[in-house]
Chains A and B, each alone.
Chain A
């Protein structure tokens, strides 16, 4: 399984990966991107099974990326990992095709539940 972690914070990417390993996904291949543009590049480079997106990022932020992907007909499973998790954000994320929205700080159990929601 290949997972793409998209967050402008390198530290946050490493925290997400560490938590995913603790959640039982240690065998996954982890790819990283620092913003939406780098994420698009990573998508082109290899088959991604699931993308975890931050909401607020410089250049191309997470929700803009998700909405662009939907408009372009790109089929890729993804969900958000973000600090703010308001109802409006949930609605917008769902409309853009997100399978889950995990709030920071998260636990391994929260990641397991999100992955189950994504059918993984």
Chain B
């Protein structure tokens, strides 16, 4: 399997920006990184200024007047204020400015994700597009932003904090690819394959409903540093039995017997435990470990139960373990 090329940090920041703006606006929004943009001209733009707690300037985001008016309309659900009107008045209407402030808080969150020091939005100002932002450093990243149903405009990030945000966005994109349903399924397949001698197939796209009658093994993965639950697995009992049987090639009849009885024991339980144990390996960099193995139906610790509300449907993998058969496995709470 060839690993995909790592994303350009500037493109990754655009993806993160688009995802956050889509959620905020409630309509699909794209932010495409533009490598060699034409000059912005001499009109005015909206600037969001960000600084650290001690007042040091950290970053700025330029939103061209057209885009800032579209954003205001999309956020407020009101008609678009004509950019010419804003230019004449020298300010956005107060409610549009407040709405733009909400949008800029999203930018602040993206910046803060990459900073050891917290920074905050210090203000929104209108100013010439060629405003001198030299004190923020040479970093400048421009996006073409398109809001479905509204229109498009230009948005530019300035400052070293923006560069750090882009690098963080790229890291998160790589991690989310690796931990997404496809990537994580492949990883689980590989680590379990090492234990049982042949990789089980993890096929994404299935669903698993937490019905009260569900019989399942619940491996609980905890993060050593934070002490919090990192993820909780939900593994159909029949699949847990297959996991338990595969390392030592226990005959099918034995696992069928224990599955019918609704409880794994002996070598089958030992084997299942070892398989769930190595499923923590993909998260080793976060110091995640298998803390316990619980069972459904049955009592679960309160923090585990809170992650598995009755009748919730989780995305799941259909896992095939060699000749033993297949069953469903899901992960809840994976971050």
Contact = CB atoms under 8 A, between A and B. Distances in A.
Given A84-B287, A103-B284, A105-B192, A10 B267 contact: yes
Nearest to A108: B194
A11 B270 contact: yes
A85 B284 contact: yes
Contact of A11 (B247, B287, B290): B247
B244 to A, nearest CB: 8
Interface in A42-90: 83-86
Interface size class of chain B, counting residues whose CB lies under 8 Å from the partner chain: 20 to 34
Interface string B278-293: 1011001001011000
A104 interface: yes
Contact of B267 (A11, A85, A107): A11
Interface stretch (A12-20, A24-32, A112-120): A12-20
Contacts of B194: 105-107
Contact of A105 (B267, B273, B278, B289): B278
Interface residues of A, number: 16
A9 B273 contact: yes
A4 B87 CA distance: 81
21 contacts: A9-B270, A9-B274, A10-B267, A10-B270, A11-B267, A11-B270, A12-B270, A14-B248, A83-B280, A83-B289, A84-B287, A84-B289, A86-B287, A103-B281, A103-B284, A104-B278, A104-B281, A105-B191, A105-B195, A106-B194, A107-B194
